Amino acid sequence: MRLKGRKAIITGAAAGIGFETARRFAAEGVQVVLSDIDGTAVDAAAGKIDGAIAITADVTDQGQIDRMVSGAIEAFGGLDIIVNNAGIPMLGTVETLAEADWDREIDVNLKSIYRTGRAVWPHFKSQGGGVILNTASIAGLLGSPGQASYGAAKAGVINLTRCMAIDGAAIPIRVNCICPGFIETPMVLAYLEGQDDPAASRAQVDAMHPLGGIGRPADIANGFVYLASDEASWVTGTALTIDGGLTAGI
């Protein structure tokens, strides 16, 4: 077990990448808190993982984030890892996107990492270290049509990761992120189903990945296991791209 005895919080953990990361962490010996804004769904998800607990929290509310962190520390007697996975899609160009939608996207996908960082930093500092992992996206590396706010938020996640890594290095608090390609999650599947021709859209997206097809949540969870482990003890400030080769060429 690569992470035996450690304690972690994973946000956006009711489904998709967050849930699979929680499942993989537990298999590696981690005591896991699954957190999500959907209390019913996250309770059900935690019930599928032995020893896991659920804490309902809205990542746009600092008070709820503070209670999530203190609740995890109280339940497990400590905290070593937080995975900031909560996120939402928001399609639109700067011409069509409402300002409220822009603000909501940045608030959930980017500012939430600032909030969790504020909440966990004093604890990590007092114990002499910790690990912060963030879900970014290839949309933060490449421009995409109709993804003005999503792309901006995810680009922000990548550079915030770097800045936090520098600020935490002396403690050390290691901070890294993963940039997934298209992953078979409820969010991506709903996006594909919303296209005029879902089957053609799925085929087009599959073809974008040289290794064949879109990825699985487990592909990203495996990356988070590595970044959380001692095998990555000299890794901080990195954006690990896991995308089936999508960004490797044109």
Same domain, 34 and 73: yes
Q: Which domain holds residue 189?
A: 182-214
Consecutive H or E run containing 131: strand 130-135
Same domain, 188 and 94: no
Measured between alpha carbons, how far is 17 from 135 in angstroms, rounded to an integer? 9
Measured between alpha carbons, how far is 76 from 79 in angstroms, rounded to an integer? 7
Asked if residue 250 belongs to a domain, the reply is no
Phi, psi of 55 (to 5 degrees): -130, 115
Catalytic residues: 150
Same domain, 151 and 193: no
Structure confidence by residue, pLDDT tens digits, 213-228: 999 999 999 999 999 9
Q: What is the DSSP letter of 133?
A: E
Tokens of 220: 């990203």
Average pLDDT of every residue of the chain: 96
* pTM for the predicted model, two decimal places: 0.96
- What stretches of the chain show up as alpha helix (H) in DSSP? 16-27, 39-46, 62-76, 99-106, 112-127, 148-168, 186-193, 198-207, 217-228
- CATH number, domain of 146, equals 3.40.50.720
Q: Is the pLDDT of residue 212 over 90?
A: no
Asked if residue 222 belongs to a domain, the reply is yes
The residue type found at 243 is: D
Task: State how many domains the chain has.
Answer: 2
Q: What is the mean pLDDT of residues 52-68?
A: 98
Structure confidence by residue, pLDDT tens digits, 73-104: 999 999 999 999 999 999 999 999 999 999 99
Q: Do 144 and 101 contact (CB within 8 A), yes or no? A: no
SS3 of 45-106: the string is HHCCCCCCEEEECCCCCHHHHHHHHHHHHHHHCCCCEEEECCCCCCCECCCCCCHHHHHHHH
Q: What is the mean pLDDT of residues 140-161?
A: 97
Measured between alpha carbons, how far is 88 from 77 in angstroms, rounded to an integer? 31
